[in-house]
Amino acid sequence: MPRNLVFVDTSGWFASLVPSDSDHVAAQSWLRANRRAVFTTDFVLDETLTLLRARGQSNRALAFGHALLDGSLAQLYFLAEDDIREAWTLFSTYGDKQWSFTDCTSFAIMSRLSIPTALAFDHHFGQIGTVIVVPGLPL
């Protein structure tokens, strides 16, 4: 897997999709300027669809799901058992952090596939210490 991928977290997807989100302009601008391949996981898909629907954005959730599942929006990675076990190790080791299990799956995949960069507005991505967070806004 090439290192020129950018991982997109739930916070990046949500901000890019919802105009009322405070980070919408930054997410949209960054995605328009980005020239690297965009990558995400099935756990992030699940979390993003759930968040969109919970926030009254069902139409956006459906459009996002279609675009991601048909491959037109990003490369979608489906976690395997080993990925989930590695995420569990992170989740159980870093009990002092408020990382969600989905965050831990993202960190595990980014590490294993050598993806150094994430579009994220979730301050947890800055805490892991191995991720370059874009668009470079203070977290």
Please tell me the predicted confidence (pLDDT) of residue 129.
Answer: 84
Closest to 116 measured CA to CA, from 124, 125, 61: 125
Angle, to 10 degrees, between the axis of helix 10-17 and the axis of helix 58-69? 120
Decide if 105 is inside a domain.
yes
Rounded CA separation 31/135 (Å) = 9
Decide if 139 is inside a domain.
no
Q: What is the CATH number of the domain that holds 18?
A: 3.40.50.1010
Please tell me the predicted confidence (pLDDT) of residue 3.
Answer: 64
Beta strand spans in the chain (E): 5-8, 37-41, 75-77, 117-119, 132-134
Please tell me the predicted confidence (pLDDT) of residue 32.
Answer: 92
* Positions in the chain short of pLDDT 50: 1, 137-139
Please tell me the predicted confidence (pLDDT) of residue 127.
Answer: 87
Decide if 13 is inside a domain.
yes
Please tell me the predicted confidence (pLDDT) of residue 125.
Answer: 87
Domain count, the chain: 1
Please tell me the predicted confidence (pLDDT) of residue 135.
Answer: 87
Decide if 59 is inside a domain.
yes
